[in-house]
Chains A and B, each alone.
Chain A
Amino acid sequence: MHAIPYYEEAPMASSNKSGPRKAQNAKQRLSRRQLLTHGAAIGAAGALMAGCPGTKAPADPLSDENLMGASALSGERLSPERVHGMKLMLAFTLKQLETLREFDPDEEEPLTMFRV
């Protein structure tokens, strides 16, 4: 896996310049989008490695154990029965939220008092 060349490391001792270090040219600089893409690639690679022998499989985020653990953080640890009762509803909701989370509303502010 290649390291992300966010900026070129310059040896301090040989540097004649003071102040913040900058990328030496535009080709070596990465945009926010590229950073996110590289980040996703690293995540995907991690997921693939997790499937290799000797590594742990990634935990199912909707496993009973995970959901019970996460519920404890919201103030009440759910019983296995309650987790089972809401799992279908949660899976449906998360699928819809996934689409919402993909959207970048840029600098848009939320509606805090909806009055048309």
Chain B
Amino acid sequence: MPAENPCYLTIVEAGASLKAKRLSPVELTQAYLDRIESLNPSVNAFITVLREEALAHAREMEKEISAGHYRGPLHGIPIAVKDIFATDGHRTTCGSKILKDNITHYDATVVARLKKAGCILLGKLTMSEFAFGDDVNPLTGQHPTRNPWNLERSVSGSSSGSGAAVCASFCAGALGTDTGGSIRLPSGYCGIVGMKPTYGRVSRYGVTPLAWSLDNAGPMARSVEDNALLLQIIAGADPADRMCSDKPVQDYRKGLRAGVKGLRIGLPKNYFLEYSTRDVADAVREAAKTLERQGATVSEVDLPHLKYAVGAEMAIIFGEPLAYHQKYIRQGKFDLYTDTNKAQWDAARYVSSADYIQAQRVRRYIIRDFEKAYEQVDVIFSPSTGVEANPIQEDVLADRIPVREVPAGNITLWEILWRMPSPGNLAGVPALALPCGFSAAGLPLGLQIMGRHFDEATVYRVGAAYEQATDWHTRRPAIATKA
């Protein structure tokens, strides 16, 4: 067993040790379970921990490796999934009292694929209720999920447990979902690597929907290569999800050491940087300069219709979920929702069908903006969150919306947090969040790299080059060093 705590190993490092039998799946799983037991009460990232089942599975994986049957780089790797993914024989609660006793009897396609690759499921992670509400976690004693970098700060949502668990080294990697930033916001706040793939790249079969036309499932990990490894397994056609594409899956690891010489990076002229706090905007510009020094070219790109993006996102993300949740509301379960979701369902009544249709029309303009920009550049850089992690009390619905000072003026925190990720969902392009610095308060700052439809490989290539040129991803929060 390596001298360092194995929980800190990346998937690539742990996989190499497992393959070489320097580390066993049982030792690695036990180390994670011990760490969860010791530190999760402070962070509150898990709804369900599958201790016995994970250890039994680890023993099985160990036997296979000993017998010379090696499944691949994820063989024996302990992971966890947001509690929105169906898993066979466990509760799948979506973080809601409404589904607190909901036992699912099948695995979501992505969970089944990870298990087949040899992953060990440690448990199910906290989330904003139904991927949309606040993060009070009614199933874990009303405590919010806390940011491992500072327990008084938010993780954001909705894949809050996934962000916190990966950041706190409670698992080697995790799955989240992203409808309006729910993978990228927690990744940005926690300083980890989160990928919202191209719409349709990853099956959503067995994933409770939030807004069908915006929903994506994707991986969250501590390095770009780890993230790419997870996507490699979960991406690809699935007849059970009719929106899932049958386009061939690229080899995501192939270009990770190819560098960025000759690649073109776009910095948007409008919409993003002037609506982020100065430290974030400076860090994103500096990230582009870093890669310019490595041989990439940097130029400005114009995305003129993004000014309608937040409105379009709101019209869709209020309309589609309300249609889905009508069934629970009609069943008289309205009072079981958290306060934020109650407010959202009630506010959604005033969004008209014309607004919804208008939003779906605007999406075509936004997609064309991106397509036009990608004639000039290969990837687009922007902030993933636009701000450092906010104080946790600002997540609670109050009488006023918290405000931040940005170059464009004083705008609400809500608008910033919708503004940065929603273009990626509306256009359906792949978008990778990764750390690009730290604020004066010692909190991670997030970069977002967006690419062409189904070209996750180039996004990963650029992300890996940036990661190799910096050391942000090697820093660990203090909580992660206590075990």
Contacts and interface: CB of A to CB of B under 8 A. Distances in A.
B365 interface: yes
A108 B339 CA distance: 38
Interface string B179-222: 00000000000000000001110000000000001000000000
A7 to B, nearest CB: 30
A95 to B, nearest CB: 9
Nearest to A85: B343
B453 to A, nearest CB: 5
Interface stretch (B156-164, B306-314, B373-381, B431-439): B306-314
B360 A89 contact: no
B103 interface: no
Given A82-B346, A85-B346, A115-B243, A110 B357 contact: yes
B27 to A, nearest CB: 43
A89 B421 CA distance: 19
Interface stretch (A27-35, A42-50, A96-104): A96-104
- Chain B interface, >50% SS class: helix
In this complex, the member of B200, B361, B364 whose beta carbon has the largest number of chain A beta carbons within 10 angstroms is B361
B347 A89 contact: yes
A111 B355 contact: no
Interface string B309-342: 0111111001000000000000000000001101
Chain A contact residues (Cβ within 8 angstroms of B): what range? 20 to 34
Interface in A74-103: 74, 78, 82-83, 85-86, 88-90, 92-94, 96-101, 103
A115 B453 CA distance: 11
A105 B346 CA distance: 28
B362 A100 contact: yes
Contact of A109 (B308, B359, B361, B401): B361
B315 A97 contact: yes
Contact of B350 (A70, A99, A101): A70
Contacts of A67: 350
A91 B400 CA distance: 11
Interface in B226-240: none
B399 A88 contact: yes
A74 B343 CA distance: 15
Contact of B363 (A97, A98, A114): A114
A116 interface: yes
B311 A111 contact: no
Contact of A101 (B340, B358, B364): B358
A79 to B, nearest CB: 10
A111 B243 contact: no
A90 B350 contact: yes
A57 to B, nearest CB: 22
A100 B318 CA distance: 14
Contact of A97 (B243, B351, B418): B351
A37 interface: no
A92 B350 contact: no
A84 B307 CA distance: 29
A97 B342 contact: no
A113 B245 CA distance: 13
A71 interface: yes
B308 A99 contact: yes
A115 B351 contact: no
A93 B412 contact: no
B294 interface: no
B424 to A, nearest CB: 12
Nearest to B198: A116
Contact of B349 (A71, A88, A94, A108): A71
A97 B314 contact: yes
B308 A103 contact: yes
B258 interface: no
Given A101-B355, A111-B363, A114-B428, 8 more contacts: A85-B342, A85-B346, A86-B347, A89-B340, A100-B355, A105-B365, A108-B365, A110-B360
Interface of B: 198-200, 213, 243, 245, 305, 307-308, 310-315, 318, 339-340, 342-344, 346-347, 349-351, 355, 357-365, 367, 397, 399-401, 412, 414-415, 418, 428, 453-454
Q: Which 4 interchain pairs have the tightest Cβ spacing?
A: A100-B311, A110-B360, A86-B343, A86-B346
